[in-house]
């Protein structure tokens, strides 16, 4: 990704179609707000734990990927293979810390 769009400064692949990112300057997006601390320090290599975080970022992402879905009211019909969700929807995320005898 070493091609820079002249309109929006997006990094692009060598053979990527022109205008794919911003329609040749027709689409204007507001700049991204920097993430809050401590995430900003971890991502910008400024914090003491940044190298460890960036080396293991896929494992951290996987922790958030494997979570349970929950709701206050789930209606299931034996005839249809789908469910209807009513009320509050939430995710049940477990601990991000490994067990004492496990590796990251």
pLDDT tens by residue, the chain, 104 residues: 889 999 988 899 988 888 888 999 999 888 888 888 888 888 888 878 899 999 998 888 877 665 567 777 777 777 766 666 776 766 666 665 667 777 65
Residue 8 lies in a domain: yes
Residue 94 lies in a domain: no
Residue 38 lies in a domain: no
Q: How many domains does the chain have?
A: 1
* 58-65 contacts, C-beta under 8 A, 24 or more apart: 59/104, 60/96, 63/93, 63/94, 63/96, 64/93
Q: Whole-model pTM?
A: 0.41
How far apart CA 30 and CA 22 sit, in angstroms, is 12
Q: Which DSSP category does 61 fall into?
A: H
Residue 20 lies in a domain: yes
At residue 61, the pLDDT reads 81
Residue 18 lies in a domain: yes
Containing structural domain, residue 10: 1-29
């Amino acid at each position: 990704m070493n091609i820079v769009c002249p309109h929006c400064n997006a990094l692009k692949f060598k053979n990527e179609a022109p205008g794919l990112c911003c329609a040749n300057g027709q689409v204007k997006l507001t700049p991204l707000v920097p993430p809050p601390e401590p995430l900003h320090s971890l991502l910008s290599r400024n914090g003491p734990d940044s190298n460890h975080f960036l080396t293991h970022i896929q494992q951290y992402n996987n922790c958030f990927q494997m979570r349970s879905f929950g709701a206050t009211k789930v209606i299931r019909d034996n005839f249809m293979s789908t469910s209807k969700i009513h009320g509050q929807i939430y995710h049940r995320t477990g601990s991000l810390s490994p067990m004492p005898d496990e590796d990251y």
